[in-house]
A and B are shown apart, each in its own frame.
Chain A
Amino acid sequence: MEKRVTFKGWLLPMCLLMPQIIITAVFFFYPAGQAIYQSLFIPDPFGLSMRWVGLGNFEYLLGDPYYRASFVTTAVFSLLVTVTSMGFALYLAVLADRLIKGSGVYRTLLIWPYAVAPAVAGVLWLFMFNTRVGVVSWYLGLLGYDWNHVLNEAEAMGLVVVASSWGRVSYNFLFFLAGLQAIPKSVIEAAAIDGARFWTRFRTIVFPLLSPTTFFLLVVNIVYAFFETFGVIHTITSGGPQQATTILVYKVFSDGFVSQDLGSSAAQSVILLVIVGALTIVQFKFIERRVHY
Chain B
Amino acid sequence: MATIKLDNIKKSFGKTDVIHGVDIDIEDGEFIVIVGPSGCGKSTLLRMVAGLESVTSGEILIDGAQVNGVEPMDRDIAMVFQNYALYPHMSVEENMAYGLKIAKTPKDEITERVAEAARMLQLEPYLKRKPRELSGGQRQRVAMGRAIVRKPKVFLFDEPLSNLDAKLRVQMRLEIKELQSRLGITALYVTHDQVEAMTLADRMVVMNGGVADQIGAPLEVYSNPQTEFVAGFIGSPATNFIDAALVPDAPKGASKIGIRPEHVTLLPSGQGKLGGNVVFTEALGAETLVHLRMDSGTETFTVRQDGAMPLPVAGDPVGVDWGADDEMAFNDKGRRV
A190-B85 in contact (CB<8A): yes
**A191–B94 alpha-carbon span in the complex (Å):** 12
For A192, what are the chain B residues with a Cβ–Cβ distance below 8 Å?
Answer: 52, 71-73
**A190–B90 alpha-carbon span in the complex (Å):** 14
- Cβ-based interface call for B222 (8 A): no
- Cβ-based interface call for A186 (8 A): yes
- Cβ-based interface call for A53 (8 A): no
**A197–B74 alpha-carbon span in the complex (Å):** 10
What does DSSP make chain A's interface, helix, strand, loop or mixed? helix
For A196, what are the chain B residues with a Cβ–Cβ distance below 8 Å?
Answer: 73, 98, 102
In the complex, per-residue mask of A161-189: 1 if CB is within 8 Å of any chain B CB, else 0? 00000000000000000000000101101
A194-B150 in contact (CB<8A): yes
Partner of A209, one of B71, B81, B82, B88: B88
What does DSSP make chain B's interface, helix, strand, loop or mixed? loop
**A193–B77 alpha-carbon span in the complex (Å):** 7
- Cβ-based interface call for A293 (8 A): yes
Shortest A266–chain B CB gap in Å is 46
Partner of A187, one of B51, B79, B82, B85: B85
**A208–B98 alpha-carbon span in the complex (Å):** 14
- Cβ-based interface call for A219 (8 A): no
For A208, what are the chain B residues with a Cβ–Cβ distance below 8 Å?
Answer: 89
Shortest A185–chain B CB gap in Å is 9
Shortest B225–chain A CB gap in Å is 33
- Cβ-based interface call for A102 (8 A): no
A193-B102 in contact (CB<8A): no
A184-B85, A187-B87 as given contacts; A194 in contact with B99, CB under 8 Å: yes
B52-A197 in contact (CB<8A): no
A196-B73, A196-B102, A197-B73 as given contacts; A191 in contact with B87, CB under 8 Å: yes
For B72, what are the chain A residues with a Cβ–Cβ distance below 8 Å?
Answer: 189, 192-193
- Cβ-based interface call for B324 (8 A): no
- Cβ-based interface call for A63 (8 A): no
Shortest A212–chain B CB gap in Å is 11
In the complex, per-residue mask of A200-240: 1 if CB is within 8 Å of any chain B CB, else 0? 10001100110000000000000000000000000000000
**A206–B188 alpha-carbon span in the complex (Å):** 28
A189-B146 in contact (CB<8A): no
B103-A195 in contact (CB<8A): yes
In the complex, per-residue mask of B31-50: 1 if CB is within 8 Å of any chain A CB, else 0? 00000000000000000001
Instruction: Report the interface size class on chain A.
Output: 10 to 19
Q: Which of B264-306 contact A (CB under 8 A)?
A: none
- Cβ-based interface call for B318 (8 A): no
**A191–B52 alpha-carbon span in the complex (Å):** 12
A184-B83, A193-B77, A193-B78 as given contacts; A293 in contact with B102, CB under 8 Å: no
Shortest B74–chain A CB gap in Å is 8
B99-A195 in contact (CB<8A): yes
A193-B98 in contact (CB<8A): no
**A191–B73 alpha-carbon span in the complex (Å):** 9
B102-A195 in contact (CB<8A): yes
Partner of B50, one of A193, A197, A200, A205: A193
In the complex, per-residue mask of B158-187: 1 if CB is within 8 Å of any chain A CB, else 0? 000000000000000000000000000000
For B88, what are the chain A residues with a Cβ–Cβ distance below 8 Å?
Answer: 187, 209, 293
For B73, what are the chain A residues with a Cβ–Cβ distance below 8 Å?
Answer: 192-197
Q: Which of B49-103 contact A (CB under 8 A)?
A: 50-52, 71-73, 77-79, 81-83, 85-89, 98-99, 102-103
For A194, what are the chain B residues with a Cβ–Cβ distance below 8 Å?
Answer: 73, 78, 98-99, 102, 146, 150
9 interchain residue pairs of minimum CB distance: A293-B89, A194-B99, A186-B85, A190-B85, A195-B73, A195-B102, A186-B81, A192-B72, A208-B89
11 new A-B contacts, CB < 8 A, other than A193-B72, A197-B73, are A186-B85, A187-B85, A187-B86, A189-B79, A193-B78, A193-B99, A194-B78, A195-B102, A196-B98, A293-B88, A293-B89
| Chain B residues at the A interface, C-beta cutoff of 8 Å | 50-52, 71-73, 77-79, 81-83, 85-89, 98-99, 102-103, 130, 146, 150
Contacts A/B (CB < 8 Å), 13 sampled = A186-B83, A186-B85, A192-B52, A192-B72, A193-B51, A193-B52, A193-B77, A194-B99, A194-B102, A195-B73, A196-B73, A204-B98, A293-B88
